[in-house]
Structure 1
Amino acid sequence: MAVEKKAYPLRISAAVLEAVQRWADDDLRSVNAQIEFVLREALRKNGRLKHENAEPVVDDD
């Protein structure tokens, strides 16, 4: 079952983007997949996204 994805433009500082890029490289993910992973984990940990609704991040870049 394919998960519906929506495009969203993101403004981000160069320093934060570079840090996310390094983290993504370490985890063998694209920057986009890493940002989605971090957001999903933060939402789950704060009770904003139920675990069963937390689709795994698939790096399709």
Structure 2
Amino acid sequence: MKARENARKQVLLRLPQGLWEDISEWAGDDFRSINGQIEYLLTEAVRSRKKGKG
């Protein structure tokens, strides 16, 4: 993996309770932590956006 991908930044994220519960349930379905699920969703969104610009 690239050094950039290994580096981690901490981010304070406030979410509405309902969204938190939905992400928590989804994370459980995918056998991920909530943090892992949020990182996965953000990574997929960025990949999708980059594909659309190419």
- TM-score, normalising length: structure 1: 0.73
Give unpaired runs (5+ residues) of structure 2.
none
Greater relative CO, 1 or 2 (CA 8 Å, sep 6+):
1
Identical columns (%): 42
Match of 2:38 in 1: 35
The residue matched to 2:15 in structure 1 has which SS? coil
> Larger % of helix: which?
2
Instruction: Quote the RMSD (CA, aligned, Å).
Output: 1.6
Give unpaired runs (5+ residues) of structure 1.
49-61
